């Protein structure tokens, strides 16, 4: 079904439909590496582009295409490119858009390896990178060089929960001829649509909210126009970080409930944030839904809701945080986020361990920062779990 004129929930349920031979209600898993050609001419036509038949799963596969088209429709983009992981999406975008002698400006607070791959790997190919606090657009303008070609932002950012004004970045990018890439993992297309705000490329770790069930790792990229889409697809296919058909099937299944999961988890998150903010042992809470968040007004402007992730610090610093993490039982002490289950972790020693101490502090990833991703369990149980953990400190 063509769902381009339908509502968000209808797109979630029917966006992945394909016209398969047996009329199955769900997209089948085409678990095949290769596809038979009708004859030699058909094979040649598939390779030359005269026919759009499938060739080989690293290049394209019907189950994966269903997910790609579905998410592209949700993000209002030209087309999508599914990848083996969120880092596969980021690497493909960097490989496609950067080159020797080029410069990229990135938010300083981004998922650790998204920064690490620029500092440790792309730097070896003479790609320059500047990491700035993109919450203040002035910092971006100051960092622009004649060779800058990409502006990469993550909003809300992992794990500081800082927001960046996407429309303001789009204006800067347009003026200075930069490609604006937005990591939309923390919001999902349900809460935020970067392409509508002027971004050129949006990407996700679908491991998080899009799949939502902590049972696969995956990524996706959606480009606004055909030229950039083709550039990134080429890089993904040549790097070989394609998604697997079963991963795509699992993601399509999780995607169907994205809106209702997000609604429930952000409703819980608001209550958790208020509970923490009023707790005597808590020093600070950063959740875009709290009026105390420095970018609360921006959150109201560019997001449809405040999401389900927050960071906080305890008055007893890291030691108190460590005690809390060891004394919660419903919240799993685990990295990742955006699933139906509540998770707690310590970014400075876990997800962002590879970022240097100096860079962590500059980006606001302090040692006391605990990250909390709120699931869809009963709110009383989540709060009681935190309450019991805090009582042990």
DSSP letter for 339, please.
S
DSSP helix/strand/coil, 68: helix
Per-residue x/- mask for ligand LCS, residues 66 to 85, rule CB under 6 A? Answer: -------------------x
Q: Which is nearer to ligand LCS, 229 or 372 (CB)?
A: 372
Per the annotation, the verdict on 58 as an active-site residue is yes
- Strand ranges of the sheet holding 370-373, from the earlier edge strand across to the other edge: 282-286, 309-314, 370-373, 343-345, 332-333
Choose the catalytic residue: 11, 65, 208, 360: 208
| Rg of the chain on CA atoms, in Å | 21
Figure out which of the listed residues 134, 242, 268, 351 binds ligand LCS, where binding follows CB under 6 A: 351
Shortest distance, position 338 Cβ to ligand LCS, whole Å: 8
Shortest distance, position 39 Cβ to ligand LCS, whole Å: 40
Measured between alpha carbons, how far is 206 from 17 in angstroms, rounded to an integer?
Answer: 19
Pairing status of strand 332-333 against strand 343-345: parallel
Q: Which is nearer to ligand LCS, 51 or 336 (CB)?
A: 336
Helix (H), strand (E) at residue 130: strand 128-132
Figure out which of the listed residues 62, 86, 254, 289 binds ligand LCS, where binding follows CB under 6 A: 86
Burial class (CB within 10 angstroms; exposed 0-12, middle 13-18, buried 19+) of 22: exposed
Q: Which is nearer to ligand LCS, 114 or 201 (CB)?
A: 114
**Segment 356 to 385, residues that bind ligand LCS, using CB under 6 A:** none
Choose the catalytic residue: 6, 20, 45, 58: 58
Residue 87 and residue 239 in contact, taking contact as beta carbons nearer than 8 Å: no
Per the annotation, the verdict on 5 as an active-site residue is no
- Residue 58 neighbours by CB under 8 Å, 6+ apart: 237, 240, 242
Choose the catalytic residue: 111, 152, 229, 287: 111
Report if residue 87 touches ligand LCS, rule: CB under 6 A. Answer: yes
Pairing status of strand 219-223 against strand 179-183: unpaired
Residue nearest to ligand LCS (CB): 86
Per the annotation, the verdict on 208 as an active-site residue is yes
Q: Which is nearer to ligand LCS, 60 or 365 (CB)?
A: 365
Shortest distance, position 87 Cβ to ligand LCS, whole Å: 4
Report if residue 185 touches ligand LCS, rule: CB under 6 A. Answer: yes
Shortest distance, position 334 Cβ to ligand LCS, whole Å: 8
Per-residue x/- mask for ligand LCS, residues 289 to 328, rule CB under 6 A? Answer: ----------------------------------------
Residue 293 and residue 162 in contact, taking contact as beta carbons nearer than 8 Å: no
Figure out which of the listed residues 111, 122, 229, 287 binds ligand LCS, where binding follows CB under 6 A: 111
Report if residue 158 touches ligand LCS, rule: CB under 6 A. Answer: yes
Burial class (CB within 10 angstroms; exposed 0-12, middle 13-18, buried 19+) of 349: exposed
Per-residue x/- mask for ligand LCS, residues 198 to 217, rule CB under 6 A? Answer: -------x-x---------x
Report if residue 166 touches ligand LCS, rule: CB under 6 A. Answer: no
User: Per-residue DSSP letters for 69-128?
Assistant: HHHHHHTT-SEEEEESSHHHHHHHHHHHH--TT-EEEEESSS-HHHHHIIIIIGGGGT-E
Terminal-residue alpha carbon distance, the chain:
55
Q: Which is nearer to ligand LCS, 144 or 214 (CB)?
A: 214
Report if residue 184 touches ligand LCS, rule: CB under 6 A. Answer: no
Report if residue 165 touches ligand LCS, rule: CB under 6 A. Answer: no
Q: By CB under 6 A, how many residues form the interface with ligand LCS?
A: 17
- Give the helix, strand, coil percentages of the chain, each rounded to 5: 40, 15, 45
Per the annotation, the verdict on 183 as an active-site residue is yes
Figure out which of the listed residues 136, 336, 366, 388 binds ligand LCS, where binding follows CB under 6 A: 336
Measured between alpha carbons, how far is 104 from 127 in angstroms, rounded to an integer?
Answer: 8
DSSP helix/strand/coil, 340: coil
Report CA-CA distances (Å) from 142 to 102, 138, 146, 149, 314. 17, 6, 12, 14, 35
Report if residue 337 touches ligand LCS, rule: CB under 6 A. Answer: yes
Q: Which is nearer to ligand LCS, 3 or 134 (CB)?
A: 134
Handedness of CA 182, 184, 185, 189 (dihedral sign): negative
Residues of the shown chain interacting with ligand LCS in the complex, contacts defined by CB under 6 A: 85-87, 111, 114, 154, 158, 183, 185, 205, 207, 217, 219, 335-337, 351
Catalytic sites, residue numbers = 58, 111, 183, 208
């Amino acid at each position: 079904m063509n769902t381009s004129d339908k509502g968000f929930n209808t797109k979630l349920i029917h966006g992945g439909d394909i016209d398969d031979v047996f009329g199955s209600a769900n997209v089948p898993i085409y678990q095949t590496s290769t596809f038979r050609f009708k004859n030699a001419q058909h094979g040649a036509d598939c390779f030359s582009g005269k026919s759009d038949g499938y060739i080989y799963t690293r290049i394209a596969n019907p189950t994966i295409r269903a997910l790609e088209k579905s998410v592209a429709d949700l993000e209002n983009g030209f087309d999508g490119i599914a990848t083996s992981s969120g880092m596969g999406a980021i690497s493909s975008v960097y490989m496609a858009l950067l080159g020797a002698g080029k410069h990229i400006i990135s938010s300083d607070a981004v998922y650790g390896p998204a920064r690490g791959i620029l500092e440790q790997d792309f730097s070896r190919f003479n790609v320059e990178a500047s990491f700035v606090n993109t919450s203040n657009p002035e910092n971006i303008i100051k960092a622009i060089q004649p060779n800058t070609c990409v502006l990469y932002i993550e909003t809300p950012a992992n794990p500081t929960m800082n927001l960046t004004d996407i429309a303001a970045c789009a204006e800067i990018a347009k003026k200075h001829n930069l490609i604006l890439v937005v990591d939309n993992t923390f919001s999902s297309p349900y809460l935020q649509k970067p392409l509508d705000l002027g971004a050129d490329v949006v990407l996700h770790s679908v491991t998080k909210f899009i799949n939502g069930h902590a049972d696969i790792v995956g990524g996706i990229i959606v480009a606004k126009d055909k030229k950039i889409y083709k550039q990134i697809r080429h890089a993904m296919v040549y790097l070989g970080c394609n998604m697997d058909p079963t991963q795509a099937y699992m993601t399509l299944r999780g995607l169907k409930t994205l809106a209702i999961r997000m609604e429930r988890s952000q409703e819980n998150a608001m209550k958790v944030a208020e509970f923490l903010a009023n707790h005597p042992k808590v020093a600070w809470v950063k959740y875009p839904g709290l009026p105390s968040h420095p970018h609360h007004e921006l959150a109201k402007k560019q997001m449809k809701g405040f999401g389900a992730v927050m960071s906080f610090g305890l008055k007893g610093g890291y030691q108190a945080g460590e005690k809390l993490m060891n004394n919660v039982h419903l919240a799993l002490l685990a990295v990742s986020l955006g699933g139906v289950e509540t998770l707690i972790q310590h970014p400075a020693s876990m997800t962002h361990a590879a970022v240097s101490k100096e860079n962590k502090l500059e980006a606001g990833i302090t040692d006391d920062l605990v990250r909390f991703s709120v699931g869809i369990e009963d709110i009383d149980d989540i709060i009681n779990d935190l309450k019991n953990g805090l009582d042990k400190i």
